[in-house]
């Protein structure tokens, strides 16, 4: 069934209200991004057109490949883990009643803690003279500089999960609350147990929320750079050297042309992923 846009008095009013924010989007996002696309075809300074040279340089760049690999690895590990863990926690929190529901708010606390404090906390734990090494010392084990080894990656994964769990839990709980209680009651009357209720009522109705929560978690995953940067600086251990580190360092060296080309490549990659997910989501919905 094809949809046809018809101008009405109502949508004119809606566009009048939308205009300021659309204008803001245009001025602060779309136009700057257009400038980024333009810069990706020029030299950093001087305005000399170089065609696809910057893209070629970026794709051949060892640091870019390393940072991209780390970022993809991080996303592939963190996103499924986060979605699964937060979903389990949400189902559990949704099932409890009474005062214990206050626990829900507790999961949001890490989000309220400023990044600087989080960093201090991680440093206290994982520094050479930090709590972890001291505990190992008590057990007569040798500690190490955790952020300078392969463990740094898993510390970063833990940090991301800890900080974002609460937010995803709230989103899952919102989705769970939308399922009418009557459906569970009817199922129970028909003799369904807790697992059947979960399998045949809860899970199918979560499909629609996975897209939104997944996208938000994906976007949040890029913010983990702040923690990595504040803990380990411009050049952290190679396992946590992310795209944002590279972008930051390129900017320090005034390599704006490489930054722009890499940003365009990233935008294309992210758009493709989102389009594919959206396509999959719509296909799921239409098949139902």
Partner 1 sequence: MKWRKILAAGMGLVMAAGLMSGCGGQTKEADNNKKDSQEKAMGRYVEEDLKPPVQDGETPVGAYEKDGTLWLYTSSGNAETGMKYYFYQYQDGKWSEAQEETGLTSAEMYVNHIEYGQDGNLYAMGTPTNTSEDVPYGWHVLKNNSDGDTWEDITPENLLKADESGYTAMLVDIDALADGSLCVGNGSSGQAEIYKDGEKVFSADMEPMMSNYQNTICASQNRLAVTAKDGKSVDFYDTEDYSAVGNVPLEEKGESYNIAAGSDGTWYSLTEKGLIRFQETGDLIETLLDGSYGKMGASEVGVSSFFCGEEDDFYALYNEYDKGRLYMAHYTYNKEMPVSAENTLTVYSLKENKTVEQAISLFQTQNPDIRVDYSYAVGQYEKPNSDDIRSLNTELLNGEGADVLILDRLPVDSYIEKGVLMDISGLRDELVKDSGMLENIGKALDRDGKVYGIPARVGLPVMAAKDDTGKALESLEALTSYLNENPDAQVLGDTIHTSAAESLLSVMYQDLVKEDGGIDEEKMIQFLDDCLKIFENMDTKMLEEAYGYDPEENEDKNVYFSAGYFSALKDGRVSLYELQGYSSMMYPAYSIKKAGIEPQTIHNCYVPYTIAGINASSKQQEAAELFIKALLADDVQGSETMDGYPVTESAFKNMLAYADTEAAQQDVVSSSFKDPKTGEEVMEEYGNADSQTLQIYLDLIRTLDNPFIPNRTLYDTVMEEVEKCYEGTETSAEAAKAIVQKMDTYLSE
Q: Which stretch binds partner 1 (CB under 8 A): 83-91, 115-123, 126-134, 272-280?
A: 126-134
By beta-carbon proximity to partner 1, the closer residue of 172 and 241 is 241
Report the C-alpha gap between 247 and 265 in whole angstroms: 13
Report in angstroms the alpha-carbon separations of 29 from 33, 162, 202, 215.
Answer: 6, 30, 38, 19
Q: Which stretch binds partner 1 (CB under 8 A): 41-49, 102-110, 174-182, 193-201?
A: 41-49
User: Is residue 253 near partner 1 by the rule CB under 8 A?
Assistant: yes
Which residues make Cβ contacts (< 8 Å) with residue 242, sequence separation at least 6?
67, 70, 71, 74, 224, 225, 228
Tokens describing residue 217: 């978690």
Whose tokens are 């300078």? That residue is 148
By beta-carbon proximity to partner 1, the closer residue of 249 and 281 is 249
By beta-carbon proximity to partner 1, the closer residue of 2 and 8 is 8
Q: Taking the complex as a whole, how short is the minimal distance between the CB of residue 158 and partner 1, in angstroms? A: 21
Question: Checking phi first, is residue 98 left (phi over 0); if not, alpha (psi -120 to 50) or beta?
Answer: left
User: Is residue 144 near partner 1 by the rule CB under 8 A?
Assistant: yes
User: Is residue 55 near partner 1 by the rule CB under 8 A?
Assistant: no
Nearest one of 152, 155, 170, 158 to 112, comparing CA atoms: 170
User: Is residue 80 near partner 1 by the rule CB under 8 A?
Assistant: no
Handedness of CA 226, 227, 231, 236 (dihedral sign): negative
By beta-carbon proximity to partner 1, the closer residue of 234 and 285 is 234
User: Is residue 200 near partner 1 by the rule CB under 8 A?
Assistant: no
By beta-carbon proximity to partner 1, the closer residue of 176 and 256 is 256
Contacts (CB under 8 A) with partner 1, residues 255-274: 255-256
Whose tokens are 């396992």? That residue is 239
The SS3 call for residue 49 is strand
Report the C-alpha gap between 234 and 246 in whole angstroms: 8
Which of 161, 165, 231, 246 is the binder for partner 1 (CB under 8 A)?
A: 246
Interacting residues with partner 1 (CB under 8 A): 9, 12-13, 16-17, 19-20, 23-24, 27, 43-46, 61-63, 66, 128-129, 133, 143-145, 148, 234-235, 237-238, 241, 246, 248-256
């Amino acid at each position: 069934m094809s949809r046809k846009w018809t101008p009405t008095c109502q949508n004119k009013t809606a566009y009048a209200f939308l205009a300021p924010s659309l204008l803001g989007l245009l001025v602060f996002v779309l136009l700057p991004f257009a400038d980024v696309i333009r810069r990706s075809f020029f030299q950093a300074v001087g305005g000399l057109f170089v065609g696809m040279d910057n893209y070629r340089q970026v794709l051949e760049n060892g640091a870019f490949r390393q940072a991209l690999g780390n970022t993809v690895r991080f996303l592939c590990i963190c996103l499924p883990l986060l979605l699964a863990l937060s979903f389990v926690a949400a189902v559990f929190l949704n099932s409890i009643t009474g005062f214990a529901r206050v626990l829900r708010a507790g999961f949001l606390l890490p989000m309220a803690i400023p990044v600087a404090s989080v960093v201090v906390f991680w440093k206290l734990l994982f520094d050479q003279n930090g709590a972890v090494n001291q505990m190992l010392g008590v057990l007569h084990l040798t500690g190490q500089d955790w952020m300078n080894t392969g463990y740094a990656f898993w510390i970063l994964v833990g940090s991301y999960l800890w900080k974002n769990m609460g937010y995803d839990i709230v989103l899952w709980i919102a989705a769970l609350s939308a399922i009418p209680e009557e459906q569970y009651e009817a199922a129970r009357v028909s003799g369904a147990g807790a697992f059947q209720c979960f399998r045949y009522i809860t899970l199918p109705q979560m499909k629609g929320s996975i897209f939104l929560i997944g996208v938000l978690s994906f976007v949040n995953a890029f913010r983990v750079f702040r923690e990595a940067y504040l803990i380990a600086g411009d050049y952290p251990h190679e396992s946590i050297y992310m795209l944002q580190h590279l972008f930051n360092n390129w900017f320090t060296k005034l390599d704006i042309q490489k930054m722009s080309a890499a940003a365009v490549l990233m935008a294309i990659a992210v758009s493709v992923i989102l389009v594919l997910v959206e396509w999959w989501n719509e296909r799921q919905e239409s098949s139902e």
